[in-house]
Amino acid sequence: MESRRYLAAYVLFNQAVADHLGLHPTDVQCLSLLTAEPEPLTVKQIAELTGLTTGSATRLVDRLERGGYVTRTPDRQDRRRVLVAPVPERVDRVTALWDDLGQTWQTILDGDSEDELRAITRHMRRANDLSHTQIRRLRAMPKPE
């Protein structure tokens, strides 16, 4: 039950962040993923990361580009590909909000020992990996009627 409450609280928090910024929740998460990557991504890679179809990922990138959050540039290695990169000055708006809110979130970890923090980090990495596995499993299953 606590896991369900935790996940629901995060989803609702993400919705509140998106509402505050005037973005869609998926757009906020896409920006988070884009800024976590060392290099720009293709729309296909964004689709794979988010689980969206390439058409939906294209519309997501269109929205972010209209908002000034990302740019599209031709790939110098393969001119058929287009790379999507965050616009640092615009993403700073989102980052500033995350940083402000993050200071408060940090306080829940302040009393934890290094061993406890390593255990929490290990759990987060495992949960991330398992989430991706479960997402692939769900997508392969027939839809309920």
Q: What is the pLDDT of residues 42-80, one digit of tens each?
A: 999 999 888 888 999 999 999 999 999 999 999 888 888
Query: For 90, what's the count of Cα atoms within 13 Å in the CB-facing half-sphere?
Result: 15
**Across the strands, what pairs with 70?**
86
Residues 6+ apart with CB under 8 A from 18: 24, 25, 27, 28
The pLDDT, as a whole number, for residue 1 is 85
pLDDT at position 131 is: 85
pLDDT digits (tens, 9 = 90+) for 99-139: 888 778 788 889 999 999 999 999 989 988 898 888 888 88
Gap between the Cα atoms of 106 and 62, Å rounded: 33
pTM: 0.77
Residue 7: what pLDDT?
86
Cα 143 from Cα 106, distance rounded (Å): 39
70, 86 Cβ separation under 8 angstroms:
yes
Task: Note the pLDDT of residue 15.
Answer: 92
Mean pLDDT of 80-102: 88
143 pLDDT tier (thresholds 50, 70, 90): confident
Residue among 99, 33, 93, 43 nearest 71 (CA) = 43
